Every structure is written in C-alpha cells, then in structure tokens.
Structure 1
Amino acid sequence: MELLQRTLQRIGEVDYNACQEAQRRLDNLTKPPGSLGVLESIAVQLAGIQGHPRPELGEKVVMVMAADHGVAVEGISAFPQEVTRQMVINFLNHGAAVNVLAQQAGARVVVTDVGITGAALSHPDLHSRRVRPGTRNMAKEAAMTKAEAVAAVEIGIEMVSREIETGAALIATGEMGIGNTTASSAILACCSTAAIEEITGRGTGLNDQVLLKKQAIIKQSLAINQPDTDSPLDILSKVGGLEIAALTGVILGAAAYRTPVVLDGFISTAAALIACKLNEKTKPYLLASHLSQEPGHQIMLKEIGLKPMLHLDLRLGEGTGAVLAFPLIEAAVKIMHDMATFDQAGVSNGH
C-alpha cells in the first residue's frame, strides 16, 4: 500500500497560470476566439498539466492491461474466457486493431499480464506481473482481497512510471479481459444512482436473454459482496478486475508524473472513476477519447465530468478509441506552436 499512498500524495494541482497564458495565446492567434473548439480546450488542458503555455508531446504509449474474470463462468459474455489469452498473443504478434491504429498514430503498445488464467504466457515483449490467475467469481464471493487489488493498482503505477521515466509523454489506457464489462457495470452501480438496466450493455454483442442474465448476475454480485460505496478500494476489490485495478494505477501514476492520460472506453473509464475517487486531483489529467456504445459509459463520463472527443460507435476496447484521439491531441499542440498571431501575420483582429 506504500507505493499507492505515496503516489496519491504526489498528485498535485495543474498549473492554472499556464492555462491562462495558453488561453491568451490562443485568443491572439489568427482566428476568431474559441473557433477551434475542443482543440483549444485540449491545448489549455495540456498547458496546465505540463505547466507551460506551449505544451510539447513526446513518445505516445498505449498501456494494455490483461486479466481474466471469475464471473465469466456465469455465461455473461459472448466469447469464451480463453479469448483473453488468445488476444494477448495477437497483441504481441501485432495483429489486433490496437496494433494497427497505434502504428498509424506512431505509438507503442505495452502489454502486461496482471492475471490471465492458466499457465503463465511467455513472450519477450510481454510484461508478466500476475497477481493471481484471474479474479474469483464475484457472483459468489469478493473478486479480490484488498491486498490483491492494491497489488494490481501498484503494478499499474510501476509500469507507467517506467514508461514516463524513459520518455513517454502521452499515455493511453487499454485492456483485455473477457467479462470486464460486467465488472465495470458493477463498479458504476456502486458510484451512481442509475438502475442496473441503464448501465449494463451488451458488451461484445450479447442477445436479449444473456443481457438479462448479465444484469441479474451484477445485482447478485452487489447483494452478496455489499461493497462500501464510500471506499473505492472496497468497490474495486469486491466487484472489480485485476486489469481495471492496474489501469487505476496507470492513471494515478501518470497524474503523479504530470502526464496526460487518454481514456479509452467503458472499462478504462471504470478505472478512472476509481482513480478520481481515490484522489479527485486526478481528473484534470484525463482526456476522454470517445463515447462507447456501452450505455453506462455516458453515465460514467458525466460522473467524472468529462466530455468525449469522438462519437464513432466503438465498443472494442484494447485502447482503440484512445489511440484514434492521439492525432487530435497532437493537432492541438501544433496549433499552439506553429500558428501565427495577429501581429506576426499582420492581420487585423477586430479590436
């Protein structure tokens, strides 16, 4: 718990003076004030995070955390549990959607096994940091002990710290874990007043019958485990997932290093919800890439207070939506550096 506590204490306020200076510069560029919309908001946010009115972007990294869920035995997913392992191998062989999109965006994909079931995978590019082989079945007992949840969070902190210390300046969250939309819906149910039916979607494509079963399993999990809604770690350990916990650590670790985090979809945002409850100063370091097709995602984003950049009907995960937002973030930075002011261009600004 020591690393987690130290990390929570290190998360500081963003630099609001740098935000104001960035806004002044934007207002002085050759365009009507505010006319670049969300790009301007991103530029101001990055200025505050980096403490400089002209933010810079270095290396871009997608942190993909993979783990299995015991609740998958309840038949709440359209895919069998072995797909987690198979997809991790696909990531390592550069064959998944996130690999293709990351390559296009000039980003690296870093894959960590925090709890895939079965024998440990061995691959030179895989970071094997297994806490346990998948969570327990939360429909029968707590998914993790508090110690296991904290261990997974701290793995996320360690992994992102290593990347940032070696040059990463923009972090995207990604995940793989059959059953993880069920865990994410359960987390949201603990943090929101919305009904289970409102926050539980079809995940990887469930039919009506299995969707109803999934909703019933979430209700059962909450009834059996009785998570303390005032304790983010209690929620995470009882109805969360190892990869969700690790992503919580990625988010907290990046915030402690004053590094922006681009959230992917529903599962990543569940991790962000826990991170913000652990330390509310985390929120200004977060950028929401897109609005997922999962119905609970919009509720989650509102709960945190984030607006998504893209509406593409995505529901894949892996970090795909976050990577698609990278070029927009880079565009915001380029505007700050390369666009002429009214004075430089000899353009009258109407004042």
Structure 2
Amino acid sequence: MITPISTTLVTELQKKIDFKTKPIGSLGTLEKIALQIGQIQNTLTPELHQPAVVVFAGDHGIVKNKPISPYPQEVTQQMVLNFVQGGAAINVFCKQHNIELFIVDAGVNGTFDYTTHLLNHKIASGTSDYSEGKAMSVEACETALDAGRNVIQQLHLQGTNIVGFGEMGIGNTSAAALLMSYFTNTPIENCVGKGTGLDDKGVHTKGEILSEVFDFHKDQIETPIDALVSFGGFEIVMLCGAMLEAARLQMTVLIDGFIVTSALLAAHAIDNNILDYCIFSHTSGEQGHEKMLSHLQVSPILNLGMRLGEGSGVAVAYPIIQSAVNFLNEMATFESANVSEAN
C-alpha cells in the first residue's frame, strides 16, 4: 500500500518558501514543486539523488493484423537498439541533464544482447491480438507488474529517489486509448489520436477498430487488472507496477505523456494515493492526453506540443524540477540577506 504524502512539515515548508527573497508566489509552479518534493521526502531540505528514466518497451499483437499504425512492428526492436546506441531523443536529453537511462525489454518481438542498462524482463514476444481475445493472461499481467516493481526496487537500492518513466512500442497509443476510455469513461473516438503519424483517414479507421475492440471486451472488465489483461501491453503493465512501487518507496515519480499516463490511470485505480508522489512533466500533443490530465485533476509543467514518448517530456522537464529544489535549499531569506520585507 502507498502511504499518503506527509503533511507534517507543510506549514514550515510553505513558510520557508514564502520568506525567500521574492514576492510571495512569484516563482509560481516552482514553489508548488518544491512544496510537493519536501512533503514527499518529509524534510525542509529535499535532495534529488541519482535521477533515472526507465523506458519500458513492448509489442502489441494487433499491429500485425489491423491498420492502427503507419509503422511496422519491427520498429519497436529497431528503436530499442537505437536507445542502446545512444541515438534517440531520450538519450540526448538524459545525457544533457545527467539522468541515468535504463531500457527494459518487457515484451519486444525481437532478441537483444542484454546489458546493465538494457534489462531483460521479457514476458513474451508481444501481446496477443486484443481484437480477437485478451491481450494477455492474468498470470502474465501479474508477472509484468512484479517485473516493474523489481526494476524500481533495484534503482531504490542504488540510491535513486526520483524516477521518470517512458515507453516504446508500435501500437501502444491504441492500447492507451482503450485504457483511457475505460478508466475515464470517455467515448473511444475522443481518446484516439495520430500516434506515430496517422492522417485523418487513418485516425478514423483506428477509431472504428478500437471501438469494436472496446465493445468486444467491456462486459468482461470489472477491475483495473481486468482492463490491463484485456487491452494492455506488457510495457504498460510494467509501467503500472513500477509506478506503484516507486510511490510505495516514497520516491518522486515523473510522468511523461499519453501512454505513460494510461498506465498511471490503472495504477491510480489500484491505489489513488499514488498521485501524491507524481509530477506531470508535460501535456502531450496526442489529443487524449489533456483529457486524461483533466480527469486526474493535475497540471503539467510544460506544453511544448511534444508527442514522442520515450520519457522525453520527463527529461526535458527535469531541470525545472531541479531548480525548484535548488531555490528551496540555496536561495537567501529576507533575514539572511538583510532585505526588508513587504509591509
């Protein structure tokens, strides 16, 4: 179970923020972030240790049989290799901000030489086609949740106290749209977007396919696990398990875009205390994401029109989060700087 965020120091934290050499509230969102991280760590002097981004990758069986993506399934494997070789956007941004990057093979339809930063938690070579049956078994779902937890436990042991999440998987915007529709009670047509670049006709076709899929499964779904079993990808399920474990361990959890937030919807349905530990990095350009954020009643840091995935929004937002902690710890107070306060 996730412990609700500590409010023991909230008054002292707010006083510390307000008495910095600035007008009250003038650092805006930075002040909210500083307050939240101080509460998460239950200290007036929070610190960010060994920040990490974990990208979970997996394939989706429906891609082989239905036109839901302009890219073929093998792109998932090719992009994982690109991550390993350091050529993706997430590599660039993590390197820029000294964030350690881990890639997890949750269920890619391909083979790899695994390393310290490319982790093997493969459940299978992709999920089953959910237009014909459930995406996975209950047993596979539980194994994936446990694998996500295990990844976070290892990071926690190495000293990481702030972790961001990303994903890679051709077809996973479709799985995310189905999960969004279920958890937010939103019509599927309002959840479906361009994904990796569908045109308007492609989006319409994708919506029709997913509407049929949703109707096929909806009467058999009674729990969050049922929804993950019906629609999820192995990478999405591992994300869900990882987020729940990170919050349980009182780590700061950085949320990326549309697909990562779909995993959070499931995690939130399992334990709604998770939101106390989450910072939302950005609003994705994928049309359903803003609706997800509104459903959760949360505000993201950035809105740059990004819809890449990979945890790219997390890595771009991280220095802002770092600035929030730094001003709380290093900025002078009116008293220490001998500056007169407002009347």
Question: Which TM-score band (shorter chain)?
Answer: over 0.9
Equivalent position to 1:57, from 25, 44, 48 = 48
Query: Does the CA-based 8 Å contact 2:106-2:235 persist in structure 1?
Result: yes
Task: Show structure 2 runs of 5+ residues with no match.
Answer: none
CA distance in 1, matches of 2:45, 2:9: 9
Shift of 1:112: 0.7
Shift of 1:323: 0.5
Q: 2:72 aligns with which of 65, 80, 84?
A: 80
In 2, Cα distance between equivalents of 1:272 and 1:21: 30
Residue matched to 2:164: 172
C-alpha separation between the residues in 2 aligned to 1:271 and 1:153?
11
Residue in structure 2 matched with residue 117 of structure 1 by the alignment: 109
Decide which moves more: 222-231 or 332-341. 222-231
Identity, % of aligned positions: 37
How far does residue 199 in structure 1 lie from its aligned partner after superposition?
1.4
Q: Distance in 1 between matches of 2:23 and 2:334?
A: 11
Match for residue 256 of structure 1? 248
1:194 Cα deviation (Å)?
Answer: 2.4
- Within a 5 Å distance, the mapping from 1:42-191 to structure 2 comes to 42-73=33-64, 74-118=66-110, 120-124=111-115, 125-191=117-183
Residues 204, 227 of structure 1: alpha-carbon distance in 2 compared, 3 angstrom cutoff: farther
**Partner residue in 2 for 1:305:** 297
Name the CA shift for 1:349/1:190 in 2 (closer, same or farther; >3 Å). same
Distance 1:227 1:152, change over 3 A: farther
- Following TM superposition, by how much is the alpha carbon of 1:195 offset from its aligned partner in structure 2, in angstroms? 2.1
- Tell me which moved more, 262-271 or 218-227: 218-227
SS of equivalent residue, structure 2 residue 25: coil
Kindly state the Cα deviation for residue 226 of structure 1 after the two structures are TM-superposed. 2.0
Correspondence 1:292 to 2:284: yes
Whole-angstrom distance in 2 between the partners of 1:20 and 1:227: 47
Q: Tell me, what secondary structure is at the counterpart of 2:279?
A: strand
Q: Which runs of 4+ in 1 moved over 4 A?
A: 227-230
SS in 2 for 1:62: strand
**Separation in structure 2 between the aligned mates of residue 146 and residue 175 of structure 1, nearest angstrom:** 22
For 1:205-220, list aligned pairs within 5 A: 205-220=197-212
- 1:247 aligned residue (239, 246, 267): 239
TM-score (norm 1): 0.95
2:31 to 18, 40, 53: 40
Q: Which moved more, 1:310-319 or 1:20-29?
A: 20-29
The answer to whether the 8 A contact 1:186-1:222 is kept is yes
In the alignment, which residue of structure 2 is the partner of 1:6?
A: none
Distance 1:181 1:53 in 2: 40
Q: Find the counterpart in structure 1 of residue 214 from structure 2.
A: 222
Aligned residue pair count: 341
SS at match of 2:288: helix
1:82 Cα deviation (Å)? 0.1
Q: Distance in 2 between matches of 1:133 and 1:290?
A: 31
Contact 2:21/2:332, CA 8 A, preserved across alignment: yes
Contact preservation (8 Å) 1:14, 1:48: yes
Give RMSD over aligned pairs.
1.2
Pairwise CA distance, 1:230: 4.6
Letter in 2 for 1:183: A
SS at match of 2:163: strand
Q: Does 1:28 align with 2:19?
A: yes
Of 86-95 and 301-310, more deviation after overlay is shown by 301-310
Give structure 1 stretches of 5+ with no counterpart: 1-8
Which whole-Å CA distance do the structure 1 matches of 2:139 and 2:294 have between them?
30
Whether contact under 8 Å (2:189, 2:211) holds in the other structure is: no
Aligned with 2:51: secondary structure?
Answer: strand
The offset of 1:229, in angstroms, is 5.5
Alpha-carbon separation, structure 2, partners of 1:126 and 1:39: 33
Q: Which amino acid aligns with 1:63?
A: V
User: 1:227, 1:235 within 8 Å by CA — same for their partners in 2?
Assistant: no
Q: 1:229 to 1:284 in 2, by over 3 A?
A: farther
Q: Give the letter aligned to residue 107 of structure 1.
A: I
Q: Is the 8 Å Cα contact of residues 67 and 116 (structure 1) preserved in structure 2? A: yes
| d(CA) in 2 for partners of 1:208, 1:328 | 35
Residue aligning to 2:228: 236
Relative to the length of structure 2, the TM-score reads 0.97
* Pairwise CA distance, 1:133: 1.1
AA aligned to 1:42 is I
3-state DSSP of counterpart to 1:59: coil
Shift of residue 338, structure 1, vs aligned partner: 0.6
